[in-house]
Amino acid sequence: MIAIRPRRLRRTDVVRSLVRENRVHVDQLIAPIFVAERAEDAGPIASMPGVDRLTREATVREARELYELGIKSVLLFGIPAHKDARASSNYDPQGIVPQTIRALKAALPEMVIVADLCNCEYTDHGHCGILDAHGDVDNDATVALLVRTAAVYAEAGVDVVAPSDMMDGRVGAIRSALDARAFAGVAIMSYSAKYASAFYGPFREAAGATPQFGDRRSYQMDPSNAREALREIALDVEEGADIVMVKPGLPYLDVVRAARDNFDVPIAVYNVSGEYAMLKAAIAQGWIDGDRAVDEVLTSFVRAGADIVITYFAKEYARRHG
C-alpha cells in the first residue's frame, strides 16, 4: 500500500509557498483613514496604537505613502468641527470629506477613494440618522439625507460611496439618485451585513461617534443571525450594490463564507477597530508573534471568501509583503 504523506508538501518555505491555496495581496487591502477638520482634533487614538486622526494635509501625505507601498484604496471617515441633529456638516460641499476627496484626487488621481456614508460622526446625538418625535431613527428621512450626501461626495470626485447606516432601501435610493445626476460611474460598496457588535468601541473613540442614548441594535443586525445577513445582502445586490460587506470580520467568518457561496459579487470584510486593538494589546504584551498573527488573521478573511479586506493593519502588512 502506498503511504500517503501530506507532509511532503510542507517541508520548506519554498514548497509551502508553491502549494499555498490562499494569498493576501496588498492590492486587496483598503486602509481606513480618519480625517479631522480641526487640527486640534488630530493626533493619536489611545485605543488604537499606531492609528492617528489626520488633518487633510497629513491625509494626502499618508495616502502617498500607502500608494507607494502598493495600497491604492483608502476609506475616509470625517471628523467634523460642527455637529447637529441633521448632520449638516456631512452634506456640506465644503465639509471635511469632500475637501479631502478633492485634495486626494488632485494629488493621486489613480487612487481609489472610498467614502464612508453615514451620519453618526456628524450628529450631536451620535445615531446614524435623523431622529423622529419618539427618539427613534427615521428610516426614510435618513435615506434622503444619505442620498444628498452621496451626491455631494460624487461631485467632489469620489470613486465609491459606502453606506454603513443599515437603513432599509438606501442602496436603491442612492443608486437611482447618482444615476439621475450623471454619476453612474460611482460605485456603491454597501455595509450589507453590519452587526450590532461589541468590537466597535475603539472606532467610536476615534470618530467621536458614541450614541448619546440607547444603542444601535434597532437598525444594526443581531449577532446571532446568519440567514438574515444573506437576505440583507440579496436586497442590496438587487438594489444595485457593486460590492457587499460583512462587518466585523473575525466573529463573522461564517457569514463571509456563506456570502461567497451564495453571491457572485465582490465581497468585502471589515477587520474592525476592536479586532485591531485586541491584537495590538496582545502583541504589546509579547503574548503572540505580531507579524504571524496579523498574517494569519488577514489570510482567514481571504480563505473565508473575501475579495477585499478593510484593515488598520494595511500599511504594516504592505511594508512586509509589498
Scan for cell 452634506, then name that residue.
91
User: Which H, E and C letters describe 24-46, residue by residue?
Assistant: CCHHHEEEEEEEECCHHHCEECC
Residue 166 DSSP label: -
Cα 6 versus chain centre, distance: 38
Residue type, 135: G
Distant-in-sequence, close-in-space partners of 50: CB < 8 Å, separation ≥ 6: 280, 312, 316
d(CA 273, CA 267): 19
Annotated active-site residue 194? The verdict is yes
Q: Which of 72, 83, 105, 247 is catalytic?
A: 247
Q: Which of 72, 83, 105, 194 is catalytic?
A: 194
By DSSP bridging, strand 112-117 and strand 73-79 are parallel
The C-alpha cell at 11 is 517541508
Beta carbons of 129 and 141 less than 8 angstroms apart: yes
The alpha helices in the chain, defined as continuous H runs, are: 13-18, 56-68, 96-107, 139-156, 170-180, 201-207, 227-239, 253-262, 273-284, 290-304, 314-321
The C-alpha cell at 150 is 452621496
d(CA 197, CA 209): 14
What string of DSSP letters covers 211-223? -SSS-STTTSBPT
Annotated active-site residue 247? The verdict is yes
- Residues annotated as catalytic are 194, 247
